[in-house]
Protein backbone atom coordinates (compact mmCIF):
# COMPACT_ATOMS: atom_id res chain seq x y z
CA UNK A 1 0.00 0.00 0.00
CA UNK A 2 1.23 3.49 -0.81
CA UNK A 3 1.96 6.11 1.84
CA UNK A 4 -1.03 7.99 3.24
CA UNK A 5 -0.89 11.52 4.58
CA UNK A 6 -2.79 11.56 7.86
CA UNK A 7 -5.61 14.04 8.40
CA UNK A 8 -5.85 14.67 4.64
CA UNK A 9 -8.95 12.57 4.09
CA UNK A 10 -9.50 11.25 0.58
CA UNK A 11 -6.34 11.52 -1.48
CA UNK A 12 -4.35 10.25 -4.43
CA UNK A 13 -1.51 8.31 -2.84
CA UNK A 14 0.33 7.69 -6.11
CA UNK A 15 -0.17 8.94 -9.66
CA UNK A 16 2.05 7.30 -12.26
CA UNK A 17 2.04 7.69 -16.05
CA UNK A 18 3.86 5.52 -18.57
CA UNK A 19 4.23 7.65 -21.72
CA UNK A 20 5.42 6.11 -24.99
CA UNK A 21 6.31 8.37 -27.93
CA UNK A 22 6.02 6.42 -31.17
CA UNK A 23 7.84 7.14 -34.42
CA UNK A 24 4.47 7.97 -36.03
CA UNK A 25 4.09 10.84 -33.51
CA UNK A 26 1.26 9.14 -31.62
CA UNK A 27 1.68 9.18 -27.85
CA UNK A 28 0.43 6.22 -25.83
CA UNK A 29 -0.32 6.88 -22.17
CA UNK A 30 -1.13 4.50 -19.33
CA UNK A 31 -2.10 6.26 -16.11
CA UNK A 32 -2.19 4.34 -12.83
CA UNK A 33 -4.03 6.37 -10.20
CA UNK A 34 -4.07 4.95 -6.68
CA UNK A 35 -6.58 6.62 -4.35
CA UNK A 36 -7.35 6.31 -0.67
CA UNK A 37 -11.05 6.71 0.03
CA UNK A 38 -12.65 7.65 3.31
CA UNK A 39 -16.03 8.12 1.65
CA UNK A 40 -16.00 11.91 1.70
CA UNK A 41 -14.98 12.95 -1.82
CA UNK A 42 -14.27 9.57 -3.38
CA UNK A 43 -17.56 7.71 -2.87
CA UNK A 44 -18.40 6.03 -6.18
CA UNK A 45 -15.22 6.49 -8.17
CA UNK A 46 -13.16 9.27 -9.70
CA UNK A 47 -13.33 11.70 -12.60
CA UNK A 48 -10.26 12.18 -14.81
CA UNK A 49 -10.21 15.46 -16.71
CA UNK A 50 -8.33 15.65 -20.02
CA UNK A 51 -7.73 18.93 -21.81
CA UNK A 52 -8.23 18.96 -25.59
CA UNK A 53 -7.17 22.58 -26.01
CA UNK A 54 -4.10 24.57 -25.18
CA UNK A 55 -2.58 27.88 -26.20
CA UNK A 56 1.03 28.21 -27.29
CA UNK A 57 3.33 31.18 -26.79
CA UNK A 58 2.12 32.68 -30.09
CA UNK A 59 -1.47 32.65 -28.72
CA UNK A 60 -2.45 29.94 -31.18
CA UNK A 61 -5.15 27.68 -29.78
CA UNK A 62 -4.36 24.07 -30.61
CA UNK A 63 -6.74 21.16 -30.23
CA UNK A 64 -5.69 17.60 -29.66
CA UNK A 65 -7.62 14.33 -29.59
CA UNK A 66 -7.68 11.32 -27.30
CA UNK A 67 -8.74 7.76 -28.01
CA UNK A 68 -9.49 5.83 -24.84
CA UNK A 69 -8.35 2.20 -25.03
CA UNK A 70 -9.10 0.83 -21.58
CA UNK A 71 -10.39 1.85 -18.15
CA UNK A 72 -9.95 -0.44 -15.14
CA UNK A 73 -10.66 -0.37 -11.41
CA UNK A 74 -8.59 -2.70 -9.26
CA UNK A 75 -7.56 -4.60 -12.40
CA UNK A 76 -11.10 -5.16 -13.74
CA UNK A 77 -13.21 -3.41 -16.37
CA UNK A 78 -15.29 -0.66 -14.85
CA UNK A 79 -18.28 1.40 -15.93
CA UNK A 80 -17.25 4.76 -17.34
CA UNK A 81 -18.60 7.49 -19.59
CA UNK A 82 -17.34 10.60 -21.36
CA UNK A 83 -18.64 14.09 -20.73
CA UNK A 84 -17.70 17.08 -22.89
CA UNK A 85 -16.70 20.23 -21.02
CA UNK A 86 -15.45 23.66 -22.00
CA UNK A 87 -11.91 22.40 -21.41
CA UNK A 88 -12.10 19.01 -23.10
CA UNK A 89 -13.31 15.61 -21.95
CA UNK A 90 -14.10 14.20 -18.52
CA UNK A 91 -13.93 10.44 -17.92
CA UNK A 92 -16.42 9.62 -15.18
CA UNK A 93 -15.38 6.28 -13.72
CA UNK A 94 -17.78 4.17 -11.67
CA UNK A 95 -21.53 3.76 -11.31
CA UNK A 96 -23.94 4.63 -8.51
CA UNK A 97 -22.62 1.94 -6.17
CA UNK A 98 -20.38 2.98 -3.29
CA UNK A 99 -16.82 1.67 -3.71
CA UNK A 100 -16.10 1.33 0.01
CA UNK A 101 -13.35 2.89 2.04
CA UNK A 102 -9.73 1.96 1.51
CA UNK A 103 -7.30 1.79 -1.41
CA UNK A 104 -8.47 1.57 -5.02
CA UNK A 105 -6.36 1.55 -8.17
CA UNK A 106 -7.65 3.05 -11.43
CA UNK A 107 -5.92 2.45 -14.75
CA UNK A 108 -6.63 4.61 -17.81
CA UNK A 109 -5.02 3.80 -21.17
CA UNK A 110 -5.34 6.19 -24.10
CA UNK A 111 -3.66 7.46 -27.26
CA UNK A 112 -3.05 11.19 -27.75
CA UNK A 113 -2.72 12.76 -31.19
CA UNK A 114 -1.36 16.21 -32.01
CA UNK A 115 0.74 16.69 -28.87
CA UNK A 116 4.26 16.51 -30.31
CA UNK A 117 5.78 19.92 -31.04
CA UNK A 118 7.66 19.87 -34.35
CA UNK A 119 10.11 22.77 -34.20
CA UNK A 120 12.88 23.92 -36.53
CA UNK A 121 15.83 22.27 -34.81
CA UNK A 122 14.17 19.77 -32.49
CA UNK A 123 10.97 17.98 -31.55
CA UNK A 124 9.43 18.25 -28.11
CA UNK A 125 6.85 16.96 -25.67
CA UNK A 126 5.40 19.44 -23.18
CA UNK A 127 3.07 17.32 -21.06
CA UNK A 128 0.94 17.82 -17.97
CA UNK A 129 1.34 14.51 -16.17
CA UNK A 130 -1.33 15.18 -13.57
CA UNK A 131 -2.78 18.55 -14.51
CA UNK A 132 -3.25 21.38 -12.04
CA UNK A 133 -6.98 20.99 -11.39
CA UNK A 134 -7.00 17.94 -9.12
CA UNK A 135 -9.31 18.58 -6.17
CA UNK A 136 -7.52 15.89 -4.16
CA UNK A 137 -3.98 16.09 -2.76
CA UNK A 138 -1.44 13.86 -4.52
CA UNK A 139 1.14 12.28 -2.23
CA UNK A 140 3.47 11.31 -5.09
CA UNK A 141 3.36 11.80 -8.86
CA UNK A 142 5.73 10.18 -11.31
CA UNK A 143 6.17 9.46 -14.99
CA UNK A 144 8.29 7.21 -17.18
CA UNK A 145 8.78 8.35 -20.77
CA UNK A 146 9.82 6.01 -23.56
CA UNK A 147 11.27 7.74 -26.63
CA UNK A 148 11.67 6.10 -30.04
CA UNK A 149 14.43 3.51 -29.60
CA UNK A 150 16.88 5.09 -32.03
CA UNK A 151 17.08 8.49 -30.29
CA UNK A 152 20.66 8.99 -28.96
CA UNK A 153 20.55 9.26 -25.17
CA UNK A 154 23.05 12.14 -25.05
CA UNK A 155 20.90 14.26 -27.38
CA UNK A 156 17.85 14.27 -25.10
CA UNK A 157 17.16 17.22 -22.80
CA UNK A 158 14.65 17.12 -19.96
CA UNK A 159 13.02 19.56 -17.57
CA UNK A 160 9.99 19.64 -15.29
CA UNK A 161 7.86 21.96 -13.16
CA UNK A 162 5.69 21.49 -10.10
CA UNK A 163 3.14 23.56 -8.25
CA UNK A 164 -0.09 25.36 -9.17
CA UNK A 165 -0.90 26.62 -12.66
CA UNK A 166 1.89 28.92 -13.86
CA UNK A 167 4.38 27.94 -11.14
CA UNK A 168 7.99 27.03 -11.95
CA UNK A 169 8.82 25.07 -8.79
CA UNK A 170 11.43 22.31 -9.04
CA UNK A 171 10.28 19.85 -6.39
CA UNK A 172 11.13 16.75 -8.39
CA UNK A 173 13.92 14.38 -9.36
CA UNK A 174 14.62 13.00 -12.83
CA UNK A 175 17.10 10.65 -14.43
CA UNK A 176 17.66 8.43 -17.43
CA UNK A 177 17.26 4.70 -16.83
CA UNK A 178 19.52 2.00 -18.20
CA UNK A 179 16.85 1.02 -20.74
CA UNK A 180 16.90 4.57 -22.16
CA UNK A 181 13.62 5.67 -20.62
CA UNK A 182 13.29 8.91 -18.66
CA UNK A 183 11.95 8.96 -15.11
CA UNK A 184 10.41 11.88 -13.21
CA UNK A 185 9.08 11.92 -9.65
CA UNK A 186 7.88 14.63 -7.28
CA UNK A 187 9.73 15.03 -3.99
CA UNK A 188 6.88 16.43 -1.94
CA UNK A 189 3.13 16.48 -1.55
CA UNK A 190 1.12 18.14 -4.30
CA UNK A 191 -1.71 20.07 -2.67
CA UNK A 192 -5.08 20.35 -4.43
CA UNK A 193 -4.69 22.31 -7.70
CA UNK A 194 -0.98 21.56 -7.92
CA UNK A 195 0.59 19.28 -10.50
CA UNK A 196 3.62 17.91 -12.33
CA UNK A 197 4.51 19.01 -15.88
CA UNK A 198 7.43 17.61 -17.90
CA UNK A 199 9.31 18.93 -20.92
CA UNK A 200 11.49 16.79 -23.21
CA UNK A 201 13.34 17.60 -26.44
CA UNK A 202 15.17 15.36 -28.91
CA UNK A 203 16.64 15.81 -32.42
CA UNK A 204 14.41 15.92 -35.45
CA UNK A 205 13.90 12.87 -37.65
CA UNK A 206 12.85 10.31 -35.04
CA UNK A 207 9.13 11.16 -34.94
CA UNK A 208 7.46 11.57 -38.32
CA UNK A 209 5.70 14.89 -38.72
CA UNK A 210 2.27 14.22 -40.27
CA UNK A 211 1.53 15.63 -43.74
CA UNK A 212 -1.76 17.43 -43.26
CA UNK A 213 -3.56 19.52 -45.88
CA UNK A 214 -5.94 20.71 -43.18
CA UNK A 215 -5.04 20.62 -39.51
CA UNK A 216 -7.64 18.19 -38.22
CA UNK A 217 -6.95 19.02 -34.60
CA UNK A 218 -7.78 22.69 -35.16
CA UNK A 219 -11.05 21.64 -36.80
CA UNK A 220 -11.90 19.54 -33.76
CA UNK A 221 -12.22 16.30 -35.77
CA UNK A 222 -11.15 13.01 -34.29
CA UNK A 223 -8.42 11.03 -36.02
CA UNK A 224 -10.93 8.54 -37.48
CA UNK A 225 -13.26 11.31 -38.69
CA UNK A 226 -10.37 13.05 -40.40
CA UNK A 227 -9.25 9.83 -42.10
CA UNK A 228 -12.76 9.34 -43.49
CA UNK A 229 -12.95 12.93 -44.72
CA UNK A 230 -9.59 12.60 -46.47
CA UNK A 231 -10.58 9.47 -48.35
CA UNK A 232 -13.90 10.87 -49.53
CA UNK A 233 -12.93 14.36 -50.61
CA UNK A 234 -10.54 16.17 -52.91
CA UNK A 235 -8.25 16.79 -49.92
CA UNK A 236 -7.02 13.20 -50.19
CA UNK A 237 -3.88 13.99 -52.18
CA UNK A 238 -1.03 11.60 -52.77
CA UNK A 239 1.87 12.75 -50.62
CA UNK A 240 4.29 12.48 -53.55
CA UNK A 241 2.24 14.91 -55.62
CA UNK A 242 2.27 17.24 -52.62
CA UNK A 243 6.06 17.01 -52.62
CA UNK A 244 6.32 17.65 -56.38
CA UNK A 245 3.95 20.61 -56.13
CA UNK A 246 5.95 22.02 -53.26
CA UNK A 247 9.21 21.76 -55.17
CA UNK A 248 7.70 23.50 -58.20
CA UNK A 249 6.36 26.27 -55.99
CA UNK A 250 9.75 26.66 -54.29
CA UNK A 251 11.51 26.90 -57.66
CA UNK A 252 9.10 29.58 -58.83
CA UNK A 253 9.63 31.50 -55.60
CA UNK A 254 13.43 31.36 -56.00
CA UNK A 255 13.18 32.67 -59.55
CA UNK A 256 10.92 35.50 -58.40
CA UNK A 257 13.25 36.41 -55.52
CA UNK A 258 16.31 36.37 -57.81
CA UNK A 259 14.55 38.81 -60.16
CA UNK A 260 13.76 41.11 -57.24
CA UNK A 261 17.36 40.96 -55.99
CA UNK A 262 18.75 41.73 -59.46
CA UNK A 263 16.41 44.70 -59.76
CA UNK A 264 17.39 45.98 -56.32
CA UNK A 265 21.10 45.61 -57.06
CA UNK A 266 20.66 47.45 -60.37
CA UNK A 267 18.90 50.26 -58.56
CA UNK A 268 21.69 50.43 -55.98
CA UNK A 269 24.36 50.59 -58.63
CA UNK A 270 22.45 53.30 -60.50
CA UNK A 271 21.88 55.49 -57.47
CA UNK A 272 25.42 55.03 -56.21
CA UNK A 273 24.21 53.90 -52.78
CA UNK A 274 25.99 51.23 -50.77
CA UNK A 275 23.81 49.68 -48.12
CA UNK A 276 25.17 47.81 -45.10
CA UNK A 277 23.46 44.66 -43.81
CA UNK A 278 23.49 43.17 -40.35
CA UNK A 279 22.88 39.46 -40.73
CA UNK A 280 20.63 37.49 -38.40
CA UNK A 281 18.63 34.31 -38.24
CA UNK A 282 14.91 33.77 -38.15
CA UNK A 283 13.32 30.59 -36.88
CA UNK A 284 9.81 29.41 -36.45
CA UNK A 285 8.21 26.24 -35.17
CA UNK A 286 4.99 24.52 -34.27
CA UNK A 287 4.19 25.11 -30.62
CA UNK A 288 7.81 25.76 -29.73
CA UNK A 289 7.96 26.87 -26.11
CA UNK A 290 10.63 29.21 -24.84
CA UNK A 291 12.10 28.33 -21.46
CA UNK A 292 10.78 31.51 -19.89
CA UNK A 293 7.21 30.64 -20.90
CA UNK A 294 7.12 27.06 -19.63
CA UNK A 295 5.53 26.31 -16.27
CA UNK A 296 3.39 23.88 -14.33
CA UNK A 297 0.13 23.15 -16.11
CA UNK A 298 1.25 24.81 -19.32
CA UNK A 299 1.48 21.77 -21.56
CA UNK A 300 -0.87 19.28 -23.13
CA UNK A 301 -2.47 16.23 -21.55
CA UNK A 302 -4.16 16.00 -18.19
CA UNK A 303 -6.12 18.85 -16.68
CA UNK A 304 -7.01 17.38 -13.31
CA UNK A 305 -9.50 15.17 -11.54
CA UNK A 306 -11.77 14.70 -8.56
CA UNK A 307 -13.72 12.15 -6.59
CA UNK A 308 -17.33 11.34 -7.33
Question: How far is C-alpha 272 from the geometric centre of its chain's CA atoms?
Answer: 55
Question: Does some domain include residue 200?
Answer: yes
Mean pLDDT score, 123-151: 93
What is the structure's pLDDT at 119?
83
3-state secondary structure of 281: coil
Number of structural domains the chain divides into: 1
Question: Does some domain include residue 73?
Answer: yes
Question: How many angstroms separate the CA atoms of 163 and 170, rounded?
Answer: 8
**Backbone torsion region of residue 109, taken as left when φ is above 0, otherwise alpha when ψ lies between -120 and 50, otherwise beta:** beta
Does residue 280 surpass a pLDDT of 50?
no
Question: Does some domain include residue 186?
Answer: yes
Question: Does some domain include residue 267?
Answer: no
What percentage of the chain carries pLDDT values higher than 70? 70
* 223 touches 115 (CB < 8 A): no
Question: Does some domain include residue 294?
Answer: yes
Q: What mean pLDDT, rounded, does the chain reach?
A: 78
Mean pLDDT score, 142-147: 97
Residue 66 pLDDT class (50, 70, 90 cuts): confident
What is the structure's pLDDT at 287?
45
What is the structure's pLDDT at 242?
59
What is the structure's pLDDT at 300?
72
pLDDT in tens, 263-274: 554 444 333 322
Q: What range defines the domain where residue 23 resides? A: 11-210+290-307
Does residue 213 surpass a pLDDT of 60?
no
Mean pLDDT score, 226-250: 56
Question: Does some domain include residue 222?
Answer: no
Task: Give the domain CATH number at 59.
Answer: 2.60.40.1730
Mean pLDDT score, 209-221: 49
pTM, 2 dp: 0.72
Question: How many angstroms separate the CA atoms of 151 and 204, rounded?
Answer: 9
Give the residue with greater pLDDT, 88 vs 199. Answer: 199
Does residue 133 surpass a pLDDT of 80?
yes
What is the structure's pLDDT at 106?
97
What is the structure's pLDDT at 129?
95
Question: Does some domain include residue 278?
Answer: no
What is the structure's pLDDT at 244?
67
Does residue 64 surpass a pLDDT of 80?
no
What percentage of the chain carries pLDDT values higher than 90? 42
Question: Does some domain include residue 129?
Answer: yes
Amino acid sequence: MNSIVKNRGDQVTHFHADITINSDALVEVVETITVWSEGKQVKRGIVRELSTQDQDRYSNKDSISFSIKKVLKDGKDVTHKFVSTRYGKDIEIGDNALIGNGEHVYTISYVARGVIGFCVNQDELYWNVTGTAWQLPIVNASATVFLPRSVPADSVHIDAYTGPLGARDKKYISYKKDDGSLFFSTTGLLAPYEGLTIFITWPKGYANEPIQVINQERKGWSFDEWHTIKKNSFFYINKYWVLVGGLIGLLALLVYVSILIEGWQSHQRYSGLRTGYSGGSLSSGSRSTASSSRSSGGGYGGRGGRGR
